[in-house]
Structure 1
Amino acid sequence: MPTPVQEFTDAFRTEHRGVRDLLLDLVEAFRARDTGRVRELVAAVDAATGPHFRYEEESMYPRLVDIFGDEYVDKLLTDHDGAIRNVRSLYSLAEHDRLTPRQAEDGIELTRRILPHVSDCDGLSIMVETLPEDTVNAILATRRDARAAGLDLLTWAETARERDV
């Protein structure tokens, strides 16, 4: 039976790998100017990041303030703001029946802007390891609730997120 920290680390890393792979596939879909694939992948990124961002913001980030301070946690939230704006823009590009080379480049750039947060955020798991077990359990409970609610990123940002973008 895994410890709460092991459960968290495994889930967190798996989620980041999944989003990473979706984003890398999205770059390739834009390169190929495959609008059908772009639409599919933007929706998948939206679906995958909604619950993930939600439990990070509602449970994990507040518990990391004592470790990192307000400034770094605010940077993490600002990264989320940017990802939300980028996903909105990616949906706008995905509406086109055909992408121009410029639109495809814009899509690649928007997607690439999200990638650094994915890799940087994955490292937070080593800090969560330092938290008390009951705190990690609380983060896992919030994760379960966020996943059960199943709100995609843009729906969550527009209806349940406490921070405006």
Structure 2
Amino acid sequence: MPKLDPIAEFRADHAKVRDTLLELIDAISKKDATKALEIMIRLDKITGPHFRWEEESLYLAFEKFFGRQYLEYLLGVHDRVIKRGKELVEILSKGKITDEEAKTLPDIIRSDVLSHPIECEGIALFAEKLTQKELDKLAEDLERIRREGIPLLEWAERIKDVARKERGLKARVLA
């Protein structure tokens, strides 16, 4: 039996991501491109296994509660977060944050990225409806995916679309 509590881990990841995103917003607001890029590298490592586990295990277990349409919406949210992550890395890699970027990027992070862990915390409400067998499978999947430790942007490029296709999933395109 797995030792890991997958829902506690899910929630702990969200707290870690929340704090790291707030740190990123602060660094960008202070126009510290070097620190902001270092934070993005940390986020890439934290969120890769987390997003992968959500898509390959958690969302599938919860689909019976919230349906395929909402699952596809969540995949679309992941795509939006990944797109924003790539854009941020590109901007921060220049080594300089303009006054305009220092004003606009924090709002983009708040609305397009930070909103996802907030929304996922609501999904955690369904955890008590899962069976022990389902929770054990989630724990096993999480342990395996964390061991593999693939960062977010690498997972997005190499694995995400293939894994979705294998499961018959598609992301809803968000405006």
Q: Which shifted more, 137-146 or 122-131?
A: 122-131
Alignment pair present for 1:90 and 2:99: no
CA contact (8 A) 1:19 1:48 kept: yes
1:98-138 alpha-carbon deviations (Å, 9 max, x no partner):
21111223421332111111111022222122111111111
Identity of aligned residues (%): 31
Give the equivalent residue in structure 1 for 2:167.
none
State the distance in 1 between where 2:31 and 2:144 align.
37
1:48-67 alpha-carbon deviations (Å, 9 max, x no partner):
11000001100111111111
CA contact (8 A) 1:93 1:107 kept: no
TM-score, reference length from structure 2? 0.86
Displacement after TM superposition at 1:93 (Å): 1.2
Alignment pair present for 1:108 and 2:133: no
Give the equivalent residue in structure 2 for 1:47.
45
Residue 30 (structure 1) aligned to one of 28, 31, 42:
28
Give the letter aligned to residue 65 of structure 1. Answer: E
Gaps of 5+ in 2: 165-169
Give the equivalent residue in structure 2 for 1:73.
71
Gaps of 5+ in 1: none
TM-score, reference length from structure 1? 0.91
Give the equivalent residue in structure 2 for 1:62.
60
Secondary structure (helix, strand or coil) at the match of 1:124 reads: helix
Displacement after TM superposition at 1:3 (Å): 8.1
CA contact (8 A) 2:6 2:142 kept: no
Q: Number of matched residues?
A: 162
CA contact (8 A) 1:57 1:77 kept: yes
1:59-108 alpha-carbon deviations (Å, 9 max, x no partner):
11111111111111111111101010011011011112221111223421
Alignment pair present for 1:120 and 2:119: yes
CA contact (8 A) 2:37 2:93 kept: yes
Give the letter aligned to residue 143 of structure 1. Answer: L
